[in-house]
Structure 1
Amino acid sequence: MIDFEACFPFFIACLIPTILVWVFSKSTCPKSHFPPTPFALPIIGHLHLLSSIPHQAFHKLSYRYGPIFRLFLGSKPGIIVCSPEIAKEFLKTHEHMCLDRARSSATDYLSYGNKGLVVAPYGVYWKFMKKIVMSNLLNGRTLDMFSLVRHKEVYRFINSMSKKARVGEGVNLGKELMKLSNNVISIMLMGDRCTDDKKDVADDLMNLVADMFQAIGTFNLSDYIWLLKSLDLQGVGKIAKKLRARLDVMIERIIKEHEEAREHGGEIKDLLHILLDIEQDESMEIKLSREYIKAFIMDILLAATDTSAATMEWGLSQLINHPNIMKKALEEIHQVVGENRLLQESDIPNLPYLQAIVKETLRLHPPFPMFVRKSTEDFMVAGYHIPAKTIVFINVWALGRDPNHWESPHEFRPERFQGKENDIDVRGQHFHMLPFGSGRRMCPGISLAHFMVHTTLGTMIQCFDWKAGKDGNLSSVDMEEGVGLTLTKANHLVCVPVARIDPIPLM
Structure 2
Amino acid sequence: MAAIMSVDFENCFILTFLCFFSFLSYSFIFKKPKNSRRGRDLPPSPPSLPIVGHLHLLLSTLIHKSLQKISSKYGPLLHLRFFHVPIILVSSASMAHEIFKSHDVNISYRGVSANGESLVFGSSGFLSAPYGDYLKFMKKLAVTKFLRPQAIEQAQGVRAVELERFYANLMEKAKKKESVEIAMEVMKLTNNMIFRMIMGRRYSEARGYAERVMELTIKSFNLTKKIFFANMLRSMFEKLGISLFNKEIMGVSREYDELLERILVEHEETLEEEDQDKDMMDFLLETYRDEKAEYKITRNHIKSLFVEIFLGGTDPSTRATEWTMAEILNNPNILEKMREEIDTVVGKARLIQESDLPNLPYLQAVVKEGLRMYPPLPLVLRAFQESCEIKGFYVPKETVLVVNAYGVMRDPDSWEDPDVFKPERFLDFSRSGQEEQGMKYIPFGAGRRGCLGSHLAYIVQGTTIGTMVQCFDWRIKGDKINMEETLAGLVLTMAHPLKCTPVPRLGPFGF
TM-score (ref. length: structure 1): 0.92
CA distance in 1, matches of 2:231, 2:345: 55
> Matched residue of 1:77: which SS?
strand
**Are 1:98 and 1:374, in contact at CA under 8 Å, matched by a contact in 2?**
yes
Asked whether 1:87 is paired with 2:96, we answer yes
**Are 1:480 and 1:491, in contact at CA under 8 Å, matched by a contact in 2?**
yes
Corresponding residue of 2:167: 158
Match of 1:16 among 27, 49, 60: 27
Q: Deviations over 1:14-37 (max 9, x none)?
A: 233456x2x434x44378711122
Asked whether 1:489 is paired with 2:497, we answer no
Corresponding residue of 2:385: 376
Q: How does 1:314-329 map to 2 (within 5 A)?
A: 314-329=323-338
Aligned residues between the structures: 497
Q: How does 1:54-453 map to 2 (within 5 A)?
A: 54-106=63-115, 109-111=118-120, 113-191=122-200, 197=206, 201-218=209-226, 219-220=228-229, 223-224=232-233, 226-229=235-238, 235-262=244-271, 267-419=276-428, 423=431, 430-453=438-461
Which residue identity does 2:455 align to in structure 1?
S
Q: Which segment is superposed worse, 143-152 or 98-107? A: 98-107
Q: Deviations over 1:126-167 (max 9, x none)?
A: 111111111111111211111000011011101110111112
Q: Deviations over 1:236-293 (max 9, x none)?
A: 1111111110010000111111111235667253210111122222331111221111
**Are 1:84 and 1:399, in contact at CA under 8 Å, matched by a contact in 2?**
yes
Report the CA distance between 1:41 and its aligned residue.
2.9
**Are 2:472 and 2:506, in contact at CA under 8 Å, matched by a contact in 1?**
yes
**Are 1:343 and 1:458, in contact at CA under 8 Å, matched by a contact in 2?**
yes
Q: Deviations over 1:81-119 (max 9, x none)?
A: 001111011111221221111224147633574222222
CA distance in 1, matches of 2:264, 2:184: 27
Cα gap change, 1:104/1:289 in structure 2, threshold over 3 Å: closer, same or farther?
closer
> Matched residue of 1:482: which SS?
strand
Report the CA distance between 1:367 and its aligned residue.
1.9
Report the CA distance between 1:194 and its aligned residue.
8.3
> Matched residue of 1:41: which SS?
coil
- How large is the RMSD of aligned CA atoms in angstroms? 2.5
Cα gap change, 1:105/1:294 in structure 2, threshold over 3 Å: closer, same or farther?
same
Which residue identity does 1:475 align to in structure 2?
D
**Are 1:369 and 1:487, in contact at CA under 8 Å, matched by a contact in 2?**
yes
> Matched residue of 1:380: which SS?
strand
Q: Deviations over 1:327-365 (max 9, x none)?
A: 110001011111011111111011110011011001001
Cα gap change, 1:267/1:99 in structure 2, threshold over 3 Å: closer, same or farther?
same
CA distance in 2, matches of 1:350, 1:292: 39
CA distance in 1, matches of 2:211, 2:192: 11
**Are 1:428 and 1:438, in contact at CA under 8 Å, matched by a contact in 2?**
no
Which residue identity does 2:176 align to in structure 1?
V
> Matched residue of 2:500: which SS?
strand
**Are 1:44 and 1:225, in contact at CA under 8 Å, matched by a contact in 2?**
no
Which residue identity does 1:267 align to in structure 2?
Q
**Are 1:74 and 1:225, in contact at CA under 8 Å, matched by a contact in 2?**
no
CA distance in 2, matches of 1:31, 1:241: 44
**Are 1:428 and 1:442, in contact at CA under 8 Å, matched by a contact in 2?**
no
**Are 2:230 and 2:244, in contact at CA under 8 Å, matched by a contact in 1?**
no
Asked whether 1:477 is paired with 2:481, we answer yes
CA distance in 1, matches of 2:148, 2:421: 32
CA distance in 2, matches of 1:403, 1:428: 16
List runs of 5+ in structure 2 lacking aligned partners.
Answer: 1-10
TM-score (ref. length: structure 2): 0.91
Asked whether 1:42 is paired with 2:53, we answer no
Cα gap change, 1:113/1:8 in structure 2, threshold over 3 Å: closer, same or farther?
closer
CA distance in 1, matches of 2:134, 2:336: 49
Cα gap change, 1:107/1:339 in structure 2, threshold over 3 Å: closer, same or farther?
farther
> Matched residue of 1:487: which SS?
strand
**Are 2:119 and 2:125, in contact at CA under 8 Å, matched by a contact in 1?**
no
- Fraction of identical pairs, as percent: 37
Which residue identity does 1:452 align to in structure 2?
V
Report the CA distance between 1:425 and its aligned residue.
8.4
Corresponding residue of 1:499: 504
